[in-house]
Amino acid sequence: MPITTCAFDAYGTLFDVASAAREAATEPAFAAIADSWPQLAEHWRLKQLQYSWLRAVTGAHCDFWQVTQDGLDWALAKMDLDADPALRKRLLALYWELQAYPEVPDMLRALKDGGLNTAILSNGSPEMLNGAVKSAGIGEVLDVSLSVESVGIFKPDSSVYDLVGQHFGCAKEEVLFVSSNGWDAGAATGYGFTTAWVNRGGDPVDRLPWKPAHQLQDLTGIPALAGL
């Protein structure tokens, strides 16, 4: 069955989650992270994900903005930076202005020009996703941003992946799902999507029952995988 719909994870896939810490590190007021910002960004992202999983399995759902703040607070404490409220405030403000990866606009335009549906499928709250899409200037090449807030549980719960078919009226086999998270791409494979893992860091494949169908270094190859 041909691909009719491409759905993308947002954070780390379309939007560079490290860009907030990287940008703050260039500002004189935050020279304390000039050299350590990559570690801060890594700690922040890891805890953000871990807290989403823990909330999902314990039924303690909150929106992704709360998880994002909690992850940052842990990361700042880990690096002995939690005594700097101005840094925390600046990093959170920058998270609403995340940069898209350079290849994203042209890749999404190619999909739309090829007649495919395009969507975000994300843990992010609707407000966060709207802010990121607007900041990146990619609203015209996305049909919809689908948020877990409509089902009240984070990925990889299957009810989240259900949102794509419910919105577009397509079969699982018509969907190419793209994520920078190996566990997300793996779970979506188990769900029934064709999947692509954007492995920018060259990480090993997660030891899960399912594996991504495709593995790429960036998003430039997505239109070809979608049959264009």
Residues forming the active site: 9
Q: How many C-alpha atoms does 22 have within 13 Å on its Cβ side?
A: 9
Q: Do 15 and 99 touch, CB atoms closer than 8 A?
A: yes
Per DSSP, the three-state class of 206 is coil
d(CA 228, CA 113): 10
Q: How far apart are CA 197 and CA 222, in angstroms?
A: 10
Biggest CA-to-CA distance, the chain = 55
User: What radius of gyration, in Å, describes the C-alpha atoms of the chain?
Assistant: 17
